[in-house]
Amino acid sequence: MAAKVRKIAFEEHYTAVGFKDYTKSFSQHIDPAVFADLAKRLEDFDEVRLREMDEAGIDYVILSQTGPGVQAEPDAAVALSRARQNNDFLASQVERHPKRYGGFAVLPMHDPKTAADELERCVRHYGFKGSLVNGHTNGRYYDDPAYDAFWERMQDLDVPMYLHPVDPYVIPHAYTGHPELVGASWGWGVETASHALRLLFGGVFDRFPRLKLILGHMGEGLPFQRWRFDSRFAVYSHGITLQRAPSEYIGSNIVITTSGVCSPHALMGAIAEMGPEAVMFSVDYPYESTATAARFIEEAPMDAQTREMVCHGNARRLFKL
């Protein structure tokens, strides 16, 4: 293995009291014994997590509530209450290990102003580094013009949002009889990439040009379609106008992590498409192996400067560490 490079990771999950009922939609498809181990890791802040970080050369992680979180809560008032409780709990854990942990806010996106207020509370009061939102909220997507109030506040706070996968609101007919396509193997990536494209083609990044949206899993496939977005949008714009070519938002407003895709070929392709400043290391703990992710990023065929940017330099800049 190549010499260890210091790392920052930020698709690293935990869970808090009262959130296990939301995770049933995920956990029901995982072998019970496997999920029991995952549950222990999600609840741990001191033993296994820190040891694995040390072994992998990960100096700092930004923690986020595992999905689907309050995005699956139908009652807006309950969502706000649970989000606030969760964020207070996370702040207490970060306070215990401030040099190792940061926090992403849980946001009740049922109401744009309420979500903006909670984001501001977490950033200003707790020093959280942004938010992680588990996709749509009960079928509502954030290109809805009502969310401009949220995006404006987020831009003013100058923190990013990590848009994390979730099940589609309506399961596509193409997945019928193939439950393996609905979740992490395929459907989550399609759902999350589609949500990001709704924001892009909906003009959110034109109205709020300093926004940063993070996509995991090597960008949910978007880096590899940049050329085609430009080519086909020029023919099939359906009257939509953008200030820039679609590809130009992917790598500037939309940045990505390597979480859950430990492929050197995919990594080098993403860097070639987006530039080394738009690609960052992450693990997707505890659902992926920290050791595997560390070995992958240390052995990928990058020059030393690019490796340092991807492993920690870009994250330090994005999160002002």
Q: Is residue 223 part of a domain?
A: yes
Residues 215, 254 contacting (CB under 8 angstroms): yes
Q: Is residue 156 part of a domain?
A: yes
* pLDDT number for residue 28: 63
Residue 284 pLDDT > 60: yes
Q: Is residue 1 part of a domain?
A: no
Backbone angles phi and psi of 114, in degrees to 5? -60, -45
Averaged pLDDT of the chain: 95
Residues 167, 188 contacting (CB under 8 angstroms): yes
Residue at 127: amino acid letter: G
Residue at 279: amino acid letter: V
- The domain that holds 108 is classified in CATH as 3.20.20.140
Q: Is residue 2 part of a domain?
A: no
* CA-based nearest residue to 275, from 299, 293, 302: 302
pLDDT tens profile 16-42: 866 666 666 666 667 778 778 888 899
CA distance 138 to 168: 10
Angle at 184 between CA 233 and CA 231, to 5 degrees: 10
Q: Is residue 27 part of a domain?
A: yes
Q: Is residue 284 part of a domain?
A: yes
Q: Exposed, middle or buried, 242 (CB in 10 Å: 0-12/13-18/19+)?
A: middle
- Mean pLDDT computed over 225-244: 97
* pLDDT number for residue 1: 43
Q: Which two tokens stand for residue 25?
A: 């939609």
Residue 249 pLDDT > 50: yes
Question: Considering the entire predicted model, what is its pTM?
Answer: 0.95
Q: Is residue 176 part of a domain?
A: yes
pLDDT tens profile 71-117: 999 999 999 999 999 999 999 999 999 999 999 999 999 999 999 99
Of residues 21, 143, 284, 303, which has the active-site annotation? 284
Helix (H), strand (E) counts: the chain: 14, 8
Q: What is the SS3 assignment for 209? A: coil
Active site residue 303: no
Q: Which residue range forms the structural domain that includes residue 233?
A: 7-319
**Number of domains composing the chain:** 1
CA 256 to chain centre: 8
* pLDDT number for residue 2: 46
Classify strands 131-133 and 161-163 as parallel, antiparallel or unpaired.
Answer: parallel
* pLDDT number for residue 279: 98
